[in-house]
């Protein structure tokens, strides 16, 4: 009952396939695409067993009567056996390459050990940038997990080993969400952007303080690891050509139809448009947008309207310069490392509708557009799905 309530994100009494997948991801915190795909395929392979009326949703009654919680328990055991337990022998018989990797980790964290963070820090909720900059003691513009954990120790002042473990587990969980370029570090944009890691840590700090008023110990059960990050659109169809039709490109990535583009929307739009499959490429894009942003945000309101984007010397012309480095192609959504994912079409939804799905590359929900019917796959039980490359 409790697990079903946790998975039923919109509290409508029904659990969708994507809600089940996302909830198991939150529970297990998978660290790789292979692990997330294993969870997704495991859920999809047995869905019909529990969805007895074939309406693409599982009701609370179906969940209880068919004992689906046992499947969740068994899946956790299989996942641990496949990805956790099997990796132990490999670590104990370390090869020279694994030793090299360990040395790299030690080198990356050596700055923390040589120059330990101490003293008081700026208020996290009102001075997030100053907090980040003080925790970044080496001034590299990047924070490791250990640095953020040490910063939170100074901010939250854990009083026992259990509370220290709670901080560590939450940071590890958030890392899967906010380390957008998967380089093992959090840069200033990933930390400070709206809906970024700073907002998650501020929410965590609020819950931490609430526990002090009730006298509860801060554990992983009392301090939530779930953070509602702003969803973003991932269109099934490739975006319009930026150089030929910048207005259509603007509309395509105007996620909330606000007639403005945020810095995050522009950067994510360029990730898709330019097939930014490497962390180096994403860093160049991010730095190009952030460095030039203030020149084009004429009214300094933090967003770019269509006039600021489309005028002769507007932002569209600025970001189009990136096409000289990486020309836009028709296959901009697909790269060599792409994985094919099956998405179930919920009952009542059709072509052109936007649905939520759990990203196979990160822990977040994303929005995706259902394609035209000729691209649907129909199963024997009447349910429909389509495939997407990530």
pLDDT of residue 107: 40
Q: Phi first, then psi: give them for residue 114, nearest 5 degrees.
A: -75, -40
- 3-state secondary structure at position 89: helix
Stretches where the chain sits below pLDDT 70 are: 1, 10, 86-116, 176, 180-183, 194-195, 213-238, 255-256, 275, 277-278, 328-338, 352-354, 361-369, 390
Q: Domain 2-88+335-389 in CATH: superfamily?
A: EF-hand (1.10.238.10)
Residue 128's alpha-carbon distances to 133, 225, 289, 371, in angstroms, are 9, 20, 21, 41
pLDDT of residue 263: 86
Distance CA 169, CA 205 (A): 14
Q: Widest CA span of the chain, in angstroms?
A: 64
Class of domain 239-324: mainly alpha
Q: Where are the domains of the chain?
A: 2-88+335-389, 110-214, 239-324
Q: Which residues pair with 142 in a beta bridge?
A: 187
Nearest to 237 by CA among 363, 314, 352: 352
pLDDT of residue 337: 56
pLDDT of residue 245: 92
Architecture of domain 110-214: Orthogonal Bundle (1.10)
What's the whole-model pTM score? 0.47
pLDDT of residue 49: 92
Handedness of CA 97, 98, 100, 105 (dihedral sign): positive
């Amino acid at each position: 009952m409790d697990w079903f309530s946790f998975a039923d994100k919109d509290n409508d009494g029904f659990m969708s396939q994507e809600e089940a997948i996302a909830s198991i991801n939150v529970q297990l915190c998978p660290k790789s695409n292979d692990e997330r795909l294993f969870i997704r395929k495991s859920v999809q392979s047995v869905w019909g067993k529990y969805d007895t009326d074939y309406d693409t949703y599982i009701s609370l009654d179906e969940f209880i009567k068919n004992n689906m919680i046992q499947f969740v328990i068994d899946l956790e055991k299989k996942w641990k056996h496949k990805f956790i337990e099997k990796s132990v022998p490999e670590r104990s018989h370390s090869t020279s390459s694994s030793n090299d990797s360990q040395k790299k980790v030690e080198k990356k964290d050596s700055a923390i050990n040589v120059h330990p963070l101490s003293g008081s820090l700026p208020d996290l909720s009102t001075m997030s940038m100053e907090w980040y900059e003080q925790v970044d003691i080496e001034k590299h513009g990047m924070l490791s997990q250990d640095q953020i954990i040490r910063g939170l120790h100074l901010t939250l002042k854990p009083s026992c080993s259990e509370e220290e473990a709670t901080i560590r587990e939450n940071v590890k969980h958030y890392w899967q969400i906010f380390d957008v370029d998967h380089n093992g570090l959090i840069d200033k944009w990933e930390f400070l952007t709206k809906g970024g890691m700073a907002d998650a840590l501020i929410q965590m700090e609020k819950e931490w303080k609430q526990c002090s008023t009730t006298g509860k110990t801060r554990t992983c059960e009392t301090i939530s690891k779930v953070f509602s990050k702003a969803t973003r659109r991932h269109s099934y169809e490739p975006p319009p050509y930026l150089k030929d039709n910048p207005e259509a490109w603007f509309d395509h990535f105007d996620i909330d139809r606000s007639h403005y583009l945020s810095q995050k929307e522009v950067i994510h739009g360029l990730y898709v448009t330019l097939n930014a499959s490497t962390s180096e490429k994403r860093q160049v894009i991010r730095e190009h947008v952030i460095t030039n942003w203030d020149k084009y945000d004429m009214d300094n309101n933090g967003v770019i309207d269509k006039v600021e984007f489309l005028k002769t010397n507007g932002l569209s012309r600025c970001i189009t310069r990136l096409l000289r480095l990486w020309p836009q192609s028709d296959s901009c959504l697909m790269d060599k490392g792409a994985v094919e994912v099956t998405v179930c079409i919920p009952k009542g939804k059709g072509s052109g509708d936007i649905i939520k799905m759990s990203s196979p590359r990160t822990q977040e929900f994303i929005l995706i557009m259902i394609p035209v019917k000729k691209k649907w796959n129909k199963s024997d039980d009447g349910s429909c799905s389509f495939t997407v490359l990530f």
